[in-house]
Amino acid sequence: MKRIFDFIMAFFGLILIFLPVLVVVALINKFTGNDVFFIQERLGKDLKPFLLIKFATMDKDAHINGDTITCKNDSRVTKIGALLRKSKINELPQLINVLKGDMSLVGPRPLPSNEVSIYPLDVAKKIYSIKPGITGLASLYFHNEESLLSCDKESAESIFRNVIMPKKAKFELWYVDNRKFLLDLKIIFATLLVIGVPRKNILSFISKRLGGSEVQQNAEKIFGIQYELNNEDVSISKK
C-alpha cells in the first residue's frame, strides 16, 4: 500500500510542480550559471547506494571549496539557493527518486556514506531496513539544521557528530518501530506546515500533530535541548 501511495503522490506531484520547476530552472540558469541539479550518491534501503536528486543551491565547486556540512550563512550557498533551501523547494526533485522506487515520501533521510558511518553499524542497518524518505521526524525537527551550525569547522563537526546525529538516530529508530500509514499522513501534513513554524514551537507542533505515546511521554527528553552556537564553542542547556 505504501509503495502505491508513494507512486501516485509522486506522479501527480511532479505534474503539479511542472510549471514552478521550469521557473526554478530558469532562475538557477540566469542567476548562477551552475548546473540545475545536484546529484549525489546516498545510502538507501539495506545501505545500498543510489543517486539522490536536488536542485543545486551551492556554487559549482562547493564540494572543493568547503566542508560537506552546511553551516549558518554558508558563503557557498547562492542567493537563489538560499531561497530554495529555506522553502525546501530544492528537495522537490526527489519526487523522481520516489517514482523510481529509491525513496518513499516518508522515512529516514538518506545520507552520504561518510555521515551514515557516524552511526553504529547495527543502528544504521535498522534505520535503513526501510526505504529512506523525503521527509520524516528527524527532518521535521532539524528542518533548519544549518542554522544550528557555526561556520567554524571544528565547532560544526563537533555538534553535528556528537549532538545532531545521535538525536536524529532516536527519531529515525522510533519511526522504524512505529511506522504506519496514518503516521505517514500526519508527517506529510506536518511537513507542509512546519516550514513556517519557528523552531522554538517545534516541540508542541510535533508532539500535538504526530501523536504517539512514547514521543509525548518523553517529549522533554527528546525535544528538550536548546543549542546555542557561536564561532568558538557549543553549549548545550536544558530548557
- pLDDT at 61 (0 to 100): 67
- pLDDT at 87 (0 to 100): 83
- pLDDT at 46 (0 to 100): 97
Query: Residues 142-171: pLDDT tens digits?
Result: 877 776 676 666 777 888 888 889 889 988
Query: Residues 26-56: pLDDT tens digits?
Result: 988 888 877 899 999 999 999 999 999 999 8
Query: Residues 113-125: pLDDT tens digits?
Result: 999 999 999 999 9
- pLDDT at 197 (0 to 100): 57
For residues 185 and 207, which has the higher predicted lDDT (pLDDT)? 185
pTM higher than the cut 0.85 = no
> Would the pLDDT of 206 be above 50?
yes
> Would the pLDDT of 229 be above 50?
no
- pLDDT at 101 (0 to 100): 96
For residues 235 and 66, which has the higher predicted lDDT (pLDDT)? 66
Q: How far is CA 70 from CA 85, 111, 232, in A?
A: 11, 14, 17
